[in-house]
């Protein structure tokens, strides 16, 4: 670092070094805590994804049976006028300076039977199973979307924090330490030079005083 080797600059650099070390420790603690929470989310995401995929396979199996007993036109007509409606409210939660999403679902009516928008008299019971299976997936699917988005945001924050930790650890702190060492050596050298000059002046004054005597 290009600085003037003065005591004031030395004091300023020591203060900056202490601040950098404290910041480095805080960022390392933040990175470690983010990693812990990220790994917890990854494990939850893995388990929930397995659960959702099993439910999707079950719903697809029901739909395959439905398509074997009902025509595409009949299925489209049965599902044309849905009675139930779902809205999604998106909020945010601060976790270690990361704003992760929180999805809250709300249905238009509380009646579970409203997920069937057709008359049972003209449809196959397998269609009921397919619709019910798809309806059961929605809460887990929303939770899965929430966790996966949170994992993405956490991963980005971990990478950014890691870069800051590395910059402090391998660049800024070594630069401060090296510059402080340089200034300290320079000041010591100046002090030795000043002491030498004082001693020479003293010798000259004593010599002159002796000659005068």
Q: What is the mean pLDDT of residues 1-30?
A: 90
- Per domain, the residue ranges of the chain are 7-204
Q: pLDDT tens digit string along 158-187? A: 999 999 999 999 999 999 999 999 988 888
Q: Which of 184, 167, 195 is nearest to 3 (CA)?
A: 184
- Quote the pLDDT of residue 213: 47
- Quote the pLDDT of residue 88: 86
What CATH architecture does domain 7-204 belong to? Answer: Orthogonal Bundle (1.10)
- Rounded to the nearest integer, the mean pLDDT of the chain is 86
Q: How confident is the model at residue 211 (pLDDT cuts 50, 70, 90)?
A: low
Q: What is the mean pLDDT of residues 187-213?
A: 75
Q: What is the mean pLDDT of residues 46-66?
A: 89
Q: Which of 102, 94, 91 is nearest to 34 (CA)?
A: 94
**Residue 179 CA to its chain's centroid (Å):** 33
Q: How far is CA 102 from CA 30, 47, 92, 150, in A?
A: 22, 19, 6, 9
Q: Report the DSSP beta bridge partners of residue 94.
A: 99
Q: What is the mean pLDDT of residues 128-149?
A: 87
Is pLDDT larger for residue 176 or for residue 129? 176
105 in Cβ contact with 87 (< 8 Å): yes
Residue 145 has pLDDT above 80, yes or no: yes
- Quote the pLDDT of residue 210: 66
Residue 45 has pLDDT above 90, yes or no: yes
């Amino acid at each position: 670092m290009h600085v003037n080797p003065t005591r004031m600059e030395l004091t300023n650099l020591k203060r900056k070094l202490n601040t950098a070390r404290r910041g480095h420790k805080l960022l390392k603690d933040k990175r470690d805590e983010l990693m812990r929470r990220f790994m917890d989310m990854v494990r939850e995401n893995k388990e929930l994804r397995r659960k959702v995929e099993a439910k999707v396979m079950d719903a697809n199996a029901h739909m395959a049976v439905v398509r074997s007993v009902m025509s595409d036109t009949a299925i489209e007509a049965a599902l044309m006028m849905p009675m139930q409606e779902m809205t999604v409210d998106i909020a945010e939660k601060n976790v270690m300076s990361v704003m992760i999403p929180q999805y809250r679902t709300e249905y238009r009516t509380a009646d579970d039977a409203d997920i069937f928008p057709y008359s049972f008299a003209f449809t196959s019971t397998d269609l009921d199973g397919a619709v019910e299976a798809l309806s059961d997936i929605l809460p887990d699917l929303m939770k899965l979307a929430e966790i996966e988005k949170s994992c993405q945001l956490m991963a980005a924050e971990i990478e950014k924090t890691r870069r800051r930790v590395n910059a402090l650890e391998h660049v800024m702190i070594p630069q401060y330490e090296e510059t402080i060492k340089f200034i300290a050596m320079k000041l010591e050298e100046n002090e030795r030079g000043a002491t030498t000059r004082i001693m020479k002046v003293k010798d000259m004054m004593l010599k002159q005083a002796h000659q005068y005597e």
